[in-house]
Amino acid sequence: MEFIKKFESISISDLPLVGGKNASLGEMIQKLTPLGLTIPSGFVITVEGYKKHLQKNNLESQIAELLQKIDKNNLKDFSQIGEKIRSLITQAQLPEELIREITEAYKQMESTYGKNCDVAVRSSATAEDLPEASFAGQQETFLNVRGETELLYACSHCFASLFTNRAISYRIDHGFEHTDVLISLGIQKMVRSDLASAGVIFTLDTESGHKEVILINSSYGLGENIVKGVVNPDEFFVHKPTLEQGFRPILKKRCGSKKSKLVYSHDRTAQTKNVPVPEDDQITFSLTDDEILELARQSLIIEKHYSKTRGRWTPMDIEWAKDGQDGKLYILQARPETVHAPKQEQLYFEEFFIKNKDQYKNKILATGKSVGRKMVTGKAQVINDTAQMDQVKPGEILVTDMTDPDWEPIMKRAGGIVTNRGGRTCHAAIVSRELGIPAIVGTTNATEKIKTGQEITIDCSSGEVGIIYDGMIPFEIAKVEVAQANKRPIEIMINVGNPDEAFSFAKLPNDGVGLARLEFIINSSIKIHPMALIHPERINDKETREKINNLTVTYQDKKQFFIDTLAQEAGTIAAAFYPKPVIVRLSDFKSNEYRNLVGGIHFEPEEENPMLGFRGASRYCHEKYREAFELECLAMKKIREDMGLNNVKLMIPFVRTVAEGEKVIEEMKKHGLTQGENGLEIYMMCEVPSNVIIIDDFCKIFDGLSIGSNDLTQMVLGVDRDSELIASLFDERNPAVKKMLQLSIEGAKRNKKKIGICGQAPSDYPELSLFLIELGIDSLSLNPDAVLKQIASMEG
């Protein structure tokens, strides 16, 4: 055939003939299906077919004449010209020889898949899927196309989509001559994901660019809803290095709302339609753990192939679908990711932050998923559809329900983007990354909370959750050159509590995590007192029972909910910094803080001074908490053994006596955490004066120490740090405190044990850091916002 090629006969070298998308599919079918990929096949209409259509109908000169009249600043005329060009192409009759070849190729598919088999008709431009310009979503895709008549109609309109307004705009912005870009079509057997699920994979963290994770988005039905941002999808993260070692490192599982799904329309008035998702399915993950891991393995195969072909690491943007009839997972297409991949040479570290952030809590208008690690302030422009696009002035913040590729001309004007719907791989998210502007997607209610003309601040600096503030909130930017950061005179570690920020924090210059707090995870992700999951029979109020059931709805075994959630969230921190050491401190809530957890009042005592009461090591072996401590241990075991993250060290807080420390180590052993086994090290927080006074004895049972300057200062000076009346007396620079710091370091050195500090003091007082460095401390573990400032202060 002159205009048709089968996917099996093409490769990446055929890009000028079949476009980027089709060349990539042919390449994968040829070279990667033997390695385990499953890809639906079909055929390609080459660019020669498109050229033949234009030539046969004398369209080339007419199109060129119309394109010369385009003025991107006149959106109304711009739109009308695009429509005229598309009409010229769709109203012209396809050449007879092209029709003959298309119908013959389709009949060959029918012989394999049945009469009037369902196919997808996808565009594939010759300037598409390039490392510097993806062109993703610029042309049209037609789904559930059946029979020759529908196929020919879809082909004609797919040809015309080379001149959608967004495609014309994109070519102008990226410096491509319109006549240099041609279009090929891929006709591919449909995967019946309308009966199952589909989604998108990125082989990196889309926000931070972290290389060692895979992000999978998934929702019920055909995958277009995720790409267009119609639904808030499920989100999964998988760790590459330990996946390759044979472990099961699912780091995060976030259940999206998934309120609608795109399915086949059987009345043929339209090929597809959106229908509501049953409530039970909305709260159920759309993929099993085995399917998550299988998709991750397939995406790794694709990434490795393209990285080898291109001679450098090439993260991939992959579309996949699960067939509800045969139960198999299919790769639909793959393209190089174009935002982070070109930025391989980092020249400096940059961090946006708000000082005293808590003071602005009452100004929060809405929250959603953050895109980009930046902040921006500006006037909001709330618009409902593209007809209002000319209302957005340069630098204003676009606020809308959702975007699709037709919005791109105006998105380029915006200083930031906010949407009600969508996940981190939706259209608004992808475009904002390409443009280098921050966005917050999936807020659900931003168009209700924000008014046109209102001054707002978009804050995407704090991990997954993006915050929209009322008013112009002042923010700062810390910056350190890479060369300067690499000259650290001492190990600089980071204190991390929020797993959502871990991938971004890992980009800072660091030697690992000196303190990973479990309290934040328990409080924000689990929310339930562990004993309430173990002994629900002790909870006698209906409201608390309902809260627990709602939070654990995806789990029959409520204890497993605690184990899995704690393992995934803490495991995310460990994976972000892998293989650097990550010191995870076991829970250090006080009894009053435990009482605030759901069900906590049924299990916690009321203490006069919780700061000096039932906390830390004293809990772990006590009958009131021993069963809960087992769940913590099982979560840590899962991180190290199931996920393969053996860079995790465990740390015990508030150990008052040596005997207490020995009991805890023995209790951990009962639950599979044996000191020294598989390299497990157990550290102690050095924060009680007894830890310093008899440090030689404590060093005999622990592998290392980390100074908790907050509690140590409190205990040395006799100052309750929760008391506002005497807050002014709390000072880590007090001579008595500094003497205890000195004795701690000297004692650890004497016993050849590593010692660092993870308390607040070094983050607040650079002069105290210098004092500790001179004493020979092994590491400083700082709050993330202090890392760059601390390194800058160390220069020279």
The per-residue pLDDT for 458 is 94
Whether the predicted pLDDT of 685 surpasses 90: yes
The per-residue pLDDT for 133 is 45
Q: Which amino acid is at 635?
A: A
The per-residue pLDDT for 140 is 82
Mean pLDDT of 560-567: 97
Q: Based on the residue annotation, tell me whether 427 is a catalytic residue of this protein.
A: yes
Mean pLDDT of 647-673: 97
DSSP at 605: -
* Cβ atoms within 10 Å of 637's Cβ, excluding its own: 17
Distance CA 35, CA 526 (A): 39
The per-residue pLDDT for 9 is 94
Which of 351-360, 553-562, 678-687, 732-741 is least confident?
A: 351-360
Distance CA 795, CA 670 (A): 47
pLDDT band at 67 (very low <50, low <70, confident <90, very high): confident
Q: In this structure, are residues 527 and 598 in contact, taking their beta carbons and an 8 Å threshold? A: yes
Q: Which runs of E-coded beta strand occur in 482-623?
A: 491-496, 513-517, 582-585
DSSP secondary structure, 281-332, as one string: HHTS-SS-HHHHHHHHHHHHHHHHHHHHHHTS---EEEEEEE-TTT--EEEE
Cβ-Cβ contacts under 8 Å for 607 (sequence gap 6 or more): 590, 591, 592, 613, 614
Whether the predicted pLDDT of 723 surpasses 90: no
Whether the predicted pLDDT of 259 surpasses 70: yes
Q: Pseudo-torsion of CA 146, 149, 150, 155, nearest 10°? A: 120
Q: In this structure, are residues 154 and 118 in contact, taking their beta carbons and an 8 Å threshold? A: no
Tens of pLDDT, residue by residue over 749-771, are 999 999 999 977 887 787 898 89
Please compute, for residue 17, the number of CA atoms within 13 A of its CA located in the half-sphere on the CB side.
16
Query: Which one of 427, 529, 633, 686 is the catalytic residue?
Result: 427
The per-residue pLDDT for 405 is 65
Query: Which one of 155, 460, 699, 758 is the catalytic residue?
Result: 758
Whether the predicted pLDDT of 447 surpasses 50: yes
Question: What are the CA-CA distances from residue 125 to residues 29, 52, 394, 574, 786 (Å)?
Answer: 19, 16, 30, 41, 47
The per-residue pLDDT for 783 is 83
The per-residue pLDDT for 134 is 45
The per-residue pLDDT for 46 is 97
Report the DSSP beta bridge partners of residue 451: none
The per-residue pLDDT for 727 is 73
Mean pLDDT of 623-635: 97
Whether the predicted pLDDT of 137 surpasses 70: no
- pTM value is 0.83
Mean pLDDT of 448-469: 90
Distance CA 515, CA 48 (A): 61
Determine what percent of the chain is predicted with pLDDT higher than 90. Answer: 68
Q: Which amino acid is at 208?
A: S
Which of 71-85, 543-557, 629-643, 667-681 is least confident?
A: 71-85
Which of 41-55, 63-77, 568-582, 744-758 is least confident?
A: 63-77
Question: What are the CA-CA distances from residue 671 to residues 353, 633, 658, 663 (Å)?
Answer: 41, 6, 21, 13
The per-residue pLDDT for 245 is 97
Q: What does the mean pLDDT of the chain come to?
A: 90
The per-residue pLDDT for 719 is 86
DSSP at 662: H
Mean pLDDT of 218-230: 90
589 φ, ψ to 5°? -70, 150
Which of 105-114, 493-502, 528-537 is least confident?
A: 493-502
CA nearest 455: which of 474, 438, 472? 472
Whether the predicted pLDDT of 132 surpasses 50: no
Burial 651-690 (b: 16+ CB within 10 A, else e): bbbbbebbebbebbbebbeeeebeeeeeebbbbbbbbbee
| Tokens read off for 104 | 């013959």
The per-residue pLDDT for 789 is 75
Whether the predicted pLDDT of 344 surpasses 60: no
For 351-385, the three-class secondary structure string (H helix, E strand, C coil) is EEECCCHHHHHHHEEEEEEEECCCEEEEEEEECCC
Mean pLDDT of 408-433: 83
Q: Based on the residue annotation, tell me whether 460 is a catalytic residue of this protein.
A: no
Q: In this structure, are residues 415 and 395 in contact, taking their beta carbons and an 8 Å threshold? A: yes
Mean pLDDT of 408-420: 85
Q: Which amino acid is at 389?
A: M
pLDDT band at 346 (very low <50, low <70, confident <90, very high): low
Whether the predicted pLDDT of 213 surpasses 90: yes
The per-residue pLDDT for 130 is 46
